[in-house]
Amino acid sequence: MSATVTPDTAKATKKNFLNALKEALTEEMERNPMMIIQGEDVGLLGGAFGVTEGLQEQFGTHRVVDMPISEAAIIGSAVGMALNGMTVVCEMQFIDFISCGFDQIVNNMATYHYRTAGEVNMPIVVRGPAGGYSGGALYHSQMNEAWFANSPGLQIVCPSTPSDAKGLLKAAIRSGNPTIFYEVKNLYRDSKIAEDLPEGDYLVPLGKAAIRRPGKDLTYVTYGQNVYHCLQAAETLAGQGIEAEVIDLRTLVPLDEATILESIKRTNRLVVVNEAPMTCGFAGEVVARMSDLAFEYLDAPPVRVTRLDTPVPWVEPLERYVLPSVDDIVNAGLRVAKF
């Protein structure tokens, strides 16, 4: 895996999350003539959210392909293309619809390298808009990363900033491993997080977490839009004299255990936050691993803050009720801090 290139801020311009993704796709398409993008409405329309806008004009209809509404064909054909030497980025119109291509992912794509004793690589990224807090209801709000974390062979990535979105997407495309790439749709056009993107061939290594805020009293581990909720919670706690560290995992599989462990060694307290349901969710995995690796450093039982074990309902008060709030995160922080 290539190392992080130092950003050349002098030449950079402010970009939002969506533009960062588009830039990553454009650069990788230019770099690799055997790479294609396929999905529903990615060409003529330029994607439901516009991530691929302009790419079909630039690369042609045979490289930016409008597919029939069949997630199984979108992903299954990518497996064949990869088998025959291509690199494929598959767009799910919403990540929720990935369920319709589930078999091709977990049984075919995820296991190919394994069952061929390493003969075959699967340079495929299945990416799409994800997440709640958006009034999207049951089928336009999901974070279903746990389904795939439980399927060995899949890398799972969930960036929270434009530059990570760019660097991680490029790294995932080049990694040669199949990747499920969660894009927080709420962040796509969020101008508050728009930033100067490093120019040049900017890659962010997979499996490396980022510390978004340093702290000494407790550690929040999270990813996706909950990063911003944890930063807000840390701000609130700081007002009460509690310094929380915020770790953005960025990559779930492979997991950067070392960064979390090192943090716990300093803070001795752990709160893990994810917006998916609690039972068998990724937060539980982090807690389990740290209960093992960091037991001797923990001064309080690790705590999870997650969605209730429910679907994501539509209307706002109900949606907010089931999803983790900043208050929930603050309270969990207080609970471990005061244990």
Ligand X SMILES: Cc1ncc(C[n+]2csc(CCOP(=O)(O)OP(=O)(O)O)c2C)c(N)n1
How near is the Cβ of 55 to ligand X at its closest, in Å?
A: 18
Question: Considering beta carbons, is residue 185 or 269 the nearer one to another protein?
Answer: 185
57 binds, among another protein, ligand X, none (CB under 5 to 8 A by kind): none
Total number of residues that touch another protein (CB under 8 A): 38
CA distance 34 to 48: 24
CA distance 288 to 141: 26
CA distance 182 to 101: 16
Active site residue 140: yes
Burial code of 128-144, b = ≥16 C-beta within 10 A, e = fewer?
bbbbbbbebbeebbbbb
Query: By C-alpha distance, which of 166, 259, 241, 253 is closest to 204?
Result: 166
Question: Considering beta carbons, is residue 28 or 319 the nearer one to another protein?
Answer: 319
Q: Say which residues have a Cβ less than 8 Å from residue 329's Cβ, sequence separation at least 6.
A: 220, 226, 229, 230, 232, 233, 271, 273, 305
How near is the Cβ of 117 to another protein at its closest, in Å?
A: 30
40 lies in the site for ligand X, by CB under 6 A: yes
How near is the Cβ of 107 to another protein at its closest, in Å?
A: 14
Q: Taking CA 107 as the corner, what is the angle to CA 104 and CA 108, rounded to the nearest 5 degrees?
A: 60
Q: Can you name the residues that pair with 127 across neighbouring β-strands? A: 91, 181
SS3 content of the chain, % helix, strand, coil (to 5): 40, 20, 40
Within 71-100, the residues that bind ligand X by CB under 6 A are 71, 93, 97, 100
**Amino acid in position 102:** F
Within 101-160, the residues that bind another protein by CB under 8 A are 135-140
**Contact with another protein (CB under 8 A) among 100, 261, 293, 326:** 100
Distinct helix (H) and strand (E) counts, the chain:
12, 14
**Contact with another protein (CB under 8 A) among 129, 319, 329, 336:** 319
- 62, 113, 140, 229: the catalytic one is 140
66 lies in the site for another protein, by CB under 8 A: yes
97 lies in the site for another protein, by CB under 8 A: yes
313 binds, among another protein, ligand X, none (CB under 5 to 8 A by kind): another protein
DSSP structural state of residue 187: G
**Contact with another protein (CB under 8 A) among 70, 116, 240, 291:** 70
What is the number of the residue whose Cβ is closest to ligand X? Answer: 97
Residues that bind another protein (CB under 8 A): 40-41, 44-46, 48, 66-70, 72-73, 93-94, 96-97, 99-100, 135-140, 308-311, 313-315, 317-322
Active site residues per annotation: 140
Residues at the contact surface with ligand X, assessed by CB under 6 A: 40, 69, 71, 93, 97, 100
